[in-house]
Amino acid sequence: MYKVIIADDEYMIHRSLAKLVESSEHPFHVVGEAEDGAEALILLKEKPDLIITDICMPGLDGLAFIEKAKQVRPDVLFLVISGYGEFEYAQRALRLGVEDFLLKPVSPDKFQQTLTAIYHRLEKQKRKVMDYRQWFLSHEELLVQLADAIWRLDEKAVDDLLHKLVHLYEEEAADEIPFPTLNNILQEKITKELTNRGLPFPEPPIYRGLTTDADEKIKDTSSVLSQCRAYTQILLHAVKSSRNFGSRTHISKAIMYTKENLSDSTLSVQIAADIAGMSVTYFSRLFKEETSTSYVQYLTRLRMEKAKRLLDEQLLSASEICERVGYTDYPHFSKTFKKVYGIAPADYSKLHRSI
């Protein structure tokens, strides 16, 4: 089913057009009707495949509406129906990439013929998109890695993965997949991945401006890479903003995990950073800002405090306590304990028993 929006300031006309659309032999369905361009822009949330619009409407006219709508939904098709017969309007409409330009009063037969032509165009587009998506599916792992690098704020990894993706695009798909389509599917996939990881934004609307007139901007591989970088920089900024807003929560999650897993000898700053959903470098900086100490120093302090409590209870030997607080090497444990408390754990235990 293909979704259709109709914009015309004359109620009876857009109602008549809606009936013609619904009576088509092809699977078209009217999902919204508007009486001016501004109202029609709101209806873009319905994600139409075809927009039928008049030119002369109050406020935002049809041609201005088309220009704005294409920035939001570059793949949507347009059919202009107007009482204006002047050549300049038809020229401007065609320059904007509309499918056809029909004059009022519209012949029902001519309208249905035009809908049939548009239907075949939409079907062709759909087949192309299926082919495009197959290419992206074949590189699914790379896209997931890119989203993960953005989530971890690992800018070097992001750049390396972008280089790899653009190289594959140039080698395998540039002749078949237009750059705006590459951008749209890249945006859809990575936005979904980041949203699933908890990034609190529905979509990056600021990025739409980057794809405007992309065909004219893209001249070579470096241009493609530059455009993709601009997109990922927006996403990196969104992640950073989210982290700055919720850094206390992310760090608290890592601290809670650390406290609950002190006996795990594999516990490390890498694991803590993964729990917080950050790169090690970014996590370490935020952790120190939050606790005024490094993660390693914090972990050591917690382990030594727990070791001291267990020694005070006199239920376990020093070597057993060594394992309980995540050390696999007793001499290392003993040396660390002595450095913190000025006495070896075994001597501390003996001293405590003698008191």
DSSP code of residue 107: P
Domain ranges (residues) in the chain: 2-124, 134-242, 244-296, 300-354
Within 10 angstroms of residue 354's Cβ, the number of other Cβ atoms is 6
Q: What are phi and psi of 29, to 5 degrees?
A: -140, 125
Which CATH number does the domain 2-124 belong to among 3.20.20.70, 3.40.50.150, 3.40.50.2300, 3.30.420.40?
Answer: 3.40.50.2300
Same fold for the domain at 2-124 and the one at 300-354? Answer: no
Closest CA to 67 of 58, 55, 85, 83: 55
Within 10 angstroms of residue 265's Cβ, the number of other Cβ atoms is 12
In the CATH hierarchy, which fold is given to the domain comprising 244-296? Arc Repressor Mutant, subunit A (1.10.10)
3-state secondary structure of 331: helix
pTM of the predicted model, to two decimals? 0.42
Closest CA to 161 of 63, 228, 94: 228
Q: Is 198 left (phi over 0), alpha (psi -120 to 50) or beta?
A: left
221 close to 179: Cβ distance less than 8 angstroms: no
In the CATH hierarchy, which fold is given to the domain comprising 300-354? Arc Repressor Mutant, subunit A (1.10.10)
Residue 229's pLDDT is what?
83
Residue 226's pLDDT is what?
81
Residue 201's pLDDT is what?
55
Q: Please report, rounded to a whole number, the percentage of residues in the chain having pLDDT higher than 70.
A: 85
Low-confidence ranges of the chain (pLDDT < 70): 84-90, 127-133, 176, 200-222, 242-248, 352-355
What pLDDT digit, counting tens, does each position of 107-116 carry? Answer: 899 999 999 9
Query: Which tokens hold the place of 75?
Result: 């793949």
169 close to 210: Cβ distance less than 8 angstroms: no
Closest CA to 186 of 206, 205, 165: 165
Residue 218's pLDDT is what?
46
